[in-house]
Amino acid sequence: MKLAIIGTGKIVHSALKALADVPQIEVNAIYARPQSRDKGEAIAREHHIPQVYTDYASLLNHAGADFVYIGNINLVHYDYARQALEAGKHVILEKPMCVNAAQTRRLAQLAKEKGLYLFEALTFLHAPFFKHLAGALPKLGPVRLVLCNYSKYSTRYDKYLQGIVEPVFDPARAGGTLLDLNIYNLNFTLYLFGRPLGVSYVANQGFNGVDISGIVTLRYDGFVAQCAAAKDSFSPGSISIQGEKGWMRIEGTPDDFQSLQIHTPEGQETLSLVQDEHRMVDEFRAFETIYRKGDYAAMTHYLDHSVLVAEVAEAALADAGIHY
């Protein structure tokens, strides 16, 4: 599987570290905007990437890659992915797949029409512990309450308080907390429990209207899930699921899960979730395996989930008066 990297930001560095442990995937090109060519060339030297492009169309036509991995800012995900799919390339998109549901649905439709693979990069959905957790869920009895919290004081928040707005806090660039941190909580909850009956979002909004923290409430038949996230404050982070007969709890955040505890009438267990490998390795291995085996049904399963998350995220933002 040959992969071209799109972008030069922080997430690209993380992805390349993970890909170094996935020899089944060969990174053969990187794209940088013309003004970021020096960054692209530095990354290429560090990771032994043979080709550097500053023209996206040229990369799509000449790089010889099967896939592109798009690690640019949220606002451009749709356009870069659309161009790649129209050029016959498979796509791995960093989360969130797009900034609104209509864009996500259009990409999903285009991928399916062309028989191409389109993945959203979300680490824990492909981690071994997540399958174990999902398998243990029925042992909890009827679920009554789900609580998720991913809060991380942003390194850019102090500047924001001074009136300096960087992309992560810029509504014009689809910044904010829900599409950055809370999207992990939504993915976790929606993958396990599916489409909710109702969605609401209470957000703390900054001086420019961006959501700097907030809580999404998902109403299901018989239980409620709350997904909290913040970029203006910090907590260690956790996820808990409470049932009538048992409970489970993850300590830590999606970028640093520590442990999983499961308590049921059958007993209790605690699993360490601290990994020796980079946290993104599991997802890249999963994508390569699905692609190599030609398991289009598995890809479609995850893609349909991404569409659901986009629809729920958009409904939540709209409830707070935020539209992207």
Q: Hey, what domains does the chain have and what are their CATH numbers?
A: 2-117 (3.40.50.720), 125-274 (3.30.360.10)
Identify the three-state secondary structure at position 148: strand
Lookup: tokens for 245: 């007969």
Ordered DSSP codes for 118-135: EEEE-SGGGSHHHHHHHH
Residues 6+ apart with CB under 8 A from 76: none
| Helix axes of 101-114 and 296-319: crossing angle, nearest 10 degrees | 170
Measured distance CA(288)–CA(290) in Å, rounded = 6
148 near 185, Cβ under 8 Å?
yes
DSSP secondary structure code for residue 244 in this structure: S
Measured distance CA(19)–CA(67) in Å, rounded = 13
DSSP secondary structure code for residue 171 in this structure: G
The pLDDT value given to residue 276: 86
**Environment class of residue 198 by beta-carbon count within 10 Å: exposed (0-12), middle (13-18) or buried (19+)?**
exposed
pTM of the model: 0.96
Q: Which helix (H) or strand (E) holds 109?
A: helix 101-114
Measured distance CA(184)–CA(160) in Å, rounded = 23
Residues 6+ apart with CB under 8 A from 162: none
Furthest-apart CA atoms within the chain: distance in Å: 60
- Residue owning tokens 């907390």: 177
How many beta carbons lie within 10 A of that of residue 58, not counting itself?
13
The pLDDT value given to residue 255: 85
Residue ranges of the chain with per-residue pLDDT less than 50: none
**How do strand 90-94 and strand 118-121 relate by DSSP bridges?**
parallel
Lookup: tokens for 253: 């955040």
12 near 46, Cβ under 8 Å?
no
Residues 6+ apart with CB under 8 A from 219: 196, 197, 198, 199, 200
The pLDDT value given to residue 275: 87
Measured distance CA(320)–CA(323) in Å, rounded = 9
